[in-house]
Structure 1
Amino acid sequence: MSRFLFIFALLPYLMSCGGGASSAPVVEPPDPIQPPLIAEPKRSLARLKAVNEEMLATQIKNGLYYTSGASVSTPTALPVAESDMADTRSLNFSQTVTQEMGVDESDIMKYDGEWLFVATPNENKRIRVLRKQTDRSLAAVAEIALEEEDMVVNGLYLTSEHLSIITKKETYYARPFVEIIEADTSRFSLSILNLSEIESTQRGGEIRTSNTFHFDGNLISSRRIGSKILLFSTYWPNHIQLPTPVNNEQRQSNYDVLSATPISELLPQYSYDGVSSPLVRPDSCFIPEDATELDGYSGIVTLTAIDLNNPLSIQSTCINGMFDGLYAAQDDIVVFGQQYTTEGEHTVLHHFDFANDSFAYNGTVALPGRLDWNQPHLRLSIKDEFLRVVTTRSMQDESDRFDHDFFSISLLAQDRNLPILGRLPNTSQPTELGKPNEDITAVRFFEDNAYIVTFERIDPLYVLDISTPDNPRIVGELEMPGYSSYLMPLNERFLLGIGQNVDPNSFVVNATVSDSMPAPITEGVKVALFDVSSAVPRLVNEVIYDQGATPTEFDYKAITFLPHSAESIRIGLPMQSWMNLNNQWQIDARLELLELNLSGSGALMEHGEIAPQEPSEYGVWQDRAVFDNDDIYYLHHGKVLHSLWSQPNQLIGEY
């Protein structure tokens, strides 16, 4: 034995026999149980990497372990407002307004020129089936009842052969003095019905949903591209219940329980015809590239594609992490998540190629700023090989609380990174988007232009030329009272805006009335037609609905849109306001009709309204309408009112 080893071997003995009468202090032995120190779940801005079963299981189990140990409630993804112009150019009837041509979106009413399907309001537990007759009236043919009583209709899709019904589970519970029904995050379904089955039903009969797929998780959004239904959902293994630990022994026990849990119990399942199957395979999923063995999140988001012509062939992929929504073009899917930290706001975007009817991860880009909460997908657009995005940053500056940026991004990934090609503002184009303290209320893209509305007291409309990705430019600006919260590009020249007319005088505090102060303006819903073909955008004209409110500001699927000719477009907007009838305030609900003339200098004209015969007890937030040549079928709280464009104020039927 060397003398060094010998000295170390004797060291405990020598220390215990040290030369005085006083004894050495007692040292407590270390805790023999030291469970792993799992990091707090975070929103990553990193690229994605494919994983195997073990890597995915580690991330999910770490997330569950952290949640149990830190008593953190299960996070939830932000709902995405469902998504402009429907492709009705070759049809004589209107369809659901969507964000992108060729990408359909679910709605509570669908029409194909013959069949009209309507989800019943409020309870949304049945679907009315009406059929157009030779005299163009509607006849009630049947009702479709949901297979499960605790499900409600979330949306419908209609093709030439199929009606697809998406339902979600609802939860009912009571608290003192209140009864609450809210969406559950545990289950949703997709039922596929053949129209031939509906056609063969006896009049007045009941149809039970069939060919139903039941999915674990919470449906966030959906789309239809061709014959493929795309489902974007989240899933947390909430059935894994762990006690809240108070010491390391209990923490280790939780860790051991999770370690022994098979990955199959942590991932969503789907069932069809009584047979359950995994919705995703662990080796088809992704995690953030910067995730370590001590990171994790208990949930996943899932992209699922179901072919209506071959529904048992399901394509699916998942991402472990926190995400808020998706944007869909015909061949592209972008999953986005927004991060809020003390270091600022950021948005991560993951691009998947869907050109071959399956999800192929392409690349990622992280941007400063957020997409915000109101229809965030409208801040994204893909044209050719370029992704265009508008973000907003909150600034610690009372004189200017918001900064806004436009980005051009290449979809030609470089090592899974999506390069940023252009940005506004920049050193050569320093003009900011929006005046100081103005937030963005609307964004839309059309071909090589972007349209942005900002607002604090007035409404600046900005026109951006984004035809050259590495050199975006502001080419036009128009100021006017109020704001647009939804923009609908009509062609390369005209743009429709729907929002509110706001009196800027109402923002002036302690102002004295003088001849120099502008007269108050009428406040309410404003529909404005803009000519954006020149360097200075021009307000063609506008229509104001005094003290009105319309769901189309926040849900563009409530708009009815039908090109009547190459230069004429018909528009329908559900509208409500309050009226005093016999000293009682009641809701004035109606469908307002407008006509757009896109020839010459352009024109926006009111064309009357369709209203229930009796004052309405209900708002218009689930109202819809379809135009079929001259016929108008207006859905208001479960009833379909029939009128004509040529005589809108005269009801000719109620179904």
Structure 2
Amino acid sequence: MLQPKNHNIGDLLCVAVILMIVLVLAACSDENTKVIDDPINERPTEPPKLNSATSFDGPLVKAGQLSVSRFIKNGIYSAAFDYANSYKEGVPEPTSNLDSASSDFSSTNTQESGVDEADRIEYDGNILYLAAYPEWFEGGTDKSKVRVLERQNDFSLNSLTELPLGDENSNIEGMYQHNDRLAVLSTNTQFYTIDALSFAPEPWSLSEQKLTLDIYDTSLPSSPSTVSNIKIDGSMISSRRIGDELYIVTSYTAYIEGLNPNASTEEELLANYLTILDTADSELMPKIYRDGDQGTPLNTTEDCVIPAQATDKDGYAQLLSVSRINLTDPNDIQSSCISSVANMLYMSEANLYLSSTVDNQTVLHKVSLDADLTYQATGKVDGVIGWRGAPNLRLSEQDEYLRIVTSDYSQTGPQHKLSILSQQGSELAIVAALPNDTSPEPIGKPGEDIFAVRFFGDRGYIVTFERIDPLYVLDLANPNAPKVLGALEIPGFSSYLHPLDNGYLLGVGQQVNINNIPENGKVTDEPVTQEGMKISLFNVTDPSNPVEVNSIVKPSSYTPVEYDYRALSVLNNNGNYQFALPLESWYTGSNELVGIWAPSNSLLLLEVDTTSNTPELIQRSEMRPKVSDAYAGGWNDRSIIHGDNVYYIHGNQVWHTTWAEDAPIFGPF
């Protein structure tokens, strides 16, 4: 018979105390981990009643009262079953610096000096890279590709090679060329993007949306070698380049397998929500694929920022990824993640801003271009950015102050405002605005919309138009007290403004029928008609009294510069400017039965010497090459000025001429 083991009284007391402590801790632990007390971890028994997804106007955080994972999953569910209200899309982004006086050839016309923008052509003085778009013809199709052409001593071009895209159905979105590196951005969604819909039956699945970045070593232009092939899930909002660093902003919404898109009953909706909740966090993140690998998430959910005000009833499906890729070392990639709305990008040399339109307000998120691409602050201003001209030109940063022009269309007529914001903690706070108590005059007359905005240093320029064009000159030297210095009224309007040296400004837009413009306050219902492209030279040396020096009008024509300033080529030789811009003109005739529309394409060559005693806009010539019978629109036309030589790119072909009147035209190459 076994005898009980003898125990020391002290040992028994110790055991009793330990047992009591364990029981107490267990009870406390059980109390703290009850699922029912934590709505974020609670396993739902019925489909959730979620708020419609929207863009919060407060700061973003990595960890708030709601986990990033649940916020994104709520957003996916909300987007799937409340699509009409879940994505309040603003106006899509359809973006000079003072031009370098040291180069002898033109480069891409950009918004900010030192911040390059993607374009369909890149030229380094010897090699021309041309993104050729797909062409359809009887019996076949030419896919997207990059043509590589070499400049000869006589400035003719010799075709060296072609770079096909890995995905033959992709479309080239733009290119960058820098230090023997050519970066080609392409997408497999040519005609539309849907950022908020989280799932749908084929063929609308978003799982196939990808952005491709092909990086080539072009040290031997006749035989470029592939350095890296990178794919990123989602669609591209925009991109920029500073030095060797390429910045790309992409939008992504996770596609989740196994959801029932026709769910309607409580049981079916709950099953869908549970399927979403059971999805691994890594499957919510866009992936990056390098040189054909299986892909890895760009970020983790813990890396993403979401609205600090979000509750367990809120969510948003769309993820914005801000990625930085070193073109010299493509393995050097940094990325940050934001769960919010954005449809436009503005970038200075220090910061990146993402904007969206929500409930007649513009919400702005600021991201620093530091080592970690750190989210900084969020702010909002009344009104929307609008769509005319280049919307991103309505934003500008100087000395850490962000200037932005917005319009409120909820009133009987548009109300326009300049706002100046400064970061204060995690908030982009408004420090000043126009109109204000000191300068109460409205921007624009009643009914006038904004057609162009341009910031340059301490000056701002705004063009409004309904029946006549007022050009406003703003003083922004004191960011806390902006004011209107002067205004000029002339027929027509400018859609794009280009600052020049020595107090001059170039405006590109449309002339209007001056016979339809009322005089002396008379009211008329007769519509104002656009008569053709108009280029004006403005003297703004006296900002209180801006003057139109002269203008050139091309009847029945337009230029793509009116909506895409990259179509303007500029060469500045110490204040002596050369400009080249494409034109598309048309002839319209008719009889009782047939209407006739006959387009023609040309390249207009202009000069302005801002150093002369009487600067004037001068037309040097108009280059009219003989194009093939196959029609190619002029909206993507480009040009290059190289000294006294000019290249004109129309469609996928190139012509060459010299900077002289009636000079012969060679090509196409």
TM-score above 0.5: yes
Q: What is residue 144 of structure 1 aligned with on the other side? A: 163
Aligned to 1:227: 244
Identity %: 34
Listed one character per residue, the Cα deviations across residues 316-347 of structure 1 (whole Å, up to 9, x for unaligned) are 1111121111100111111111113xxxx111
Deviation for aligned residue 1:197: 4.4
Displacement after TM superposition at 1:79 (Å)? 7.3
> Which whole-Å deviations, capped at 9, do the CAs of 1:163-182 have from their partners, x for residues lacking one?
11001003699xxxxxx99x
Structure 1 pair 388–71 and aligned structure 2 pair: CA distance change class (3 A): closer
Deviations 1:429-484 (A, max 9, x none): 11110000111000000010100000110000000001001111100100011111
Corresponding residue for residue 306 of structure 1: 325
**Does the aligned pair in 2 maintain the 1:326–1:335 contact within 8 Å?**
yes
Match of 1:329 among 348, 371, 390: 348
Q: Structure 1 residues 315, 648: CA separation in 2 closer, same or farther (over 3 Å shift)?
A: farther
Map 1:575-614 → 2, pairs under 5 A? 575-579=583-587, 585-598=597-610, 599-614=612-627
1:545 aligns with 2:562: no
**C-alpha offsets along residues 235-258 of structure 1, whole Å, 9 cap, x if unaligned?**
011344522332222222112111
Partner of 2:216: 193
How do 1:66-465 residues align onto structure 2 when only pairs under 5 Å count? 66-70=78-82, 72=84, 75=87, 81=93, 83-85=95-97, 87-123=99-135, 125-170=144-189, 186-199=209-222, 201=223, 211-240=228-257, 242-243=259-260, 244-275=262-293, 276-340=295-359, 345-354=360-369, 356-374=370-388, 375-397=390-412, 401-410=413-422, 413-465=423-475
Question: Structure 2 CA distance, aligned partners of 1:78 and 1:34?
Answer: 33
2:558 is paired with a residue of what secondary structure?
coil
Change in CA separation of 1:274 and 1:652 when aligned onto 2, cut-off 3 Å:
closer
Unaligned runs of 5+ in 2: 1-43, 136-142, 193-202
Cα separation, 2, equivalents of 1:50 and 1:99: 32
Determine if contact 2:58/2:427 at 8 Å carries over to the other structure: no
Distance change >3 Å, CA 308–CA 208, structure 1 → 2: closer
Pairing partner for 2:496 from 486, 492, 495: 486
Query: Are the equivalent residues in 2 in contact too, given 1:151–1:167 (CA < 8 A)?
Result: yes
What TM-score, normalized to structure 1? 0.85
Q: Is the partner of 1:621 in helix, strand or coil?
A: helix
Instruction: Note closer, same or farther for the CA distance 1:120–1:79 as it changes in structure 2 (3 Å cut).
Output: farther
**Aligned partner letter, 2:210:** R
Contact 1:147–1:210, Cα closer than 8 Å, also in 2: no
Amino acid at match of 1:526: K
User: Do the aligned residues in 2 keep the contact of 1:168 with 1:184 (CA within 8 Å)?
Assistant: no
Q: Secondary structure of 1:654's partner?
A: coil
Which residue matches 2:479?
Answer: 469
**Mind listing any 5+ residue stretches in structure 1 that lack a counterpart?**
1-31, 174-179, 202-206
Deviation of 1:82 after TM superposition, in Å, equals: 6.7
For residues 57 and 147 of structure 1, the distance between their equivalents in structure 2, rounded to whole angstroms, comes to 34
Counterpart selection for 2:505 from 484, 495, 508: 495
Structure 2: how far apart are the matches of 1:52 and 1:513? 57
Bigger mean CA deviation after superposition, 64-73 or 281-290: 64-73
1:513, CA displacement in angstroms? 14
Matches within 5 A, 1:624-639: 624-639=638-653
* RMSD of equivalent CA atoms: 3.1
- Taking the aligned partners of 1:38 and 1:53, their CA distance within structure 2 comes to 16
Distance (Å, rounded) in 2 between the aligned partners of 1:154 and 1:609: 29
- CA deviation after TM superposition for structure 1 residue 36, in Å: 2.3
Contact 1:82 1:105 in 2 (8 A): no
CA-to-partner distance for each residue in 1:194-234, whole Å, 9 max, x for gaps?
Answer: 112434x2xxxxx6855110110001111101111111110
Q: Post-superposition shift, 1:529?
A: 0.6
User: How far apart are 1:523 and its partner, in Å?
Assistant: 1.7
For residue 656 of structure 2, what is the aligned residue in structure 1? 642
Using the alignment, how far apart are the partners of 1:393 and 1:458 within structure 2? 20
TM-score, normalisation: structure 2: 0.84
Mark the CA change 1:291 to 1:86 in structure 2 (over 3 Å): closer, same or farther.
same
CA gap of 1:572–1:89, structure 2 versus 1, over 3 A, is: same
Shift of 1:279: 1.2
CA distance in 2, matches of 1:126, 1:53: 49
Structure 1 CA distance for aligned equivalents of residues 530 and 95 of structure 2: 30
Q: Secondary structure at the match of 1:312?
A: coil
Q: Counterparts of 2:523 and 2:403 in 1: how far apart (Å)? A: 46
- Distance apart, 1:507 and its partner CA: 6.4
> Equivalent residue of 1:533, what SS?
coil
Supply the distance in 2 between the matched residues of 1:331 and 1:555 (Cα, whole angstroms).
24
Pick closer, same or farther for the CA change 1:322–1:585 going to 2, 3 Å.
closer
Q: Residue 559 of structure 1 is aligned with which of 554, 565, 568?
A: 568
The residue type paired with residue 272 of structure 1 is R
Separation in 2 of the partners of 1:35 and 1:631?
68
Deviation at 1:532, TM superposition (A): 1.0
- Alpha-carbon spacing, 1:513–1:476, altered in 2? closer, same or farther (3 Å): closer
Q: Contact 2:211–2:235 (CA<8 Å) still a contact in 1?
A: yes
Deviation of the 1:584 alpha carbon = 6.3
Residues 68, 245 of structure 1: 8 Å contact kept = no
Deviations 1:36-95 (A, max 9, x none): 211111122111112389822111110121233336598486675472236432100000
Question: Contact 1:305/1:316 (CA < 8 Å) preserved in 2?
Answer: yes
Give the letter for the 2:450 counterpart: I
Letter in 2 for 1:553: E
CA distance in 1: counterparts of 2:279 and 2:650, whole angstroms: 50
SS at match of 1:418: strand
What one-letter code is carried by the residue in structure 2 that aligns with 1:557? R
CA distance in 1, matches of 2:280, 2:529: 65
Q: Quick one: distance in 1 between partners of 2:522 and 2:315?
A: 59
Cα 1:81/1:624, change in 2 over 3 Å: farther
Give the whole-Å Cα distance in 1 for the aligned partners of 2:55 and 2:323.
Answer: 22
**DSSP 3-state at the match of 2:602:** strand
Conserved 8 A contact 2:403-2:421: yes
CA distance in 1, matches of 2:406, 2:99: 28
1:65 equivalent to 2:88? Answer no
| Cα distance in 1 for residues equivalent to 2:324 and 2:554 | 42
Cα distance in structure 2, aligned partners of 1:651 and 1:171: 34
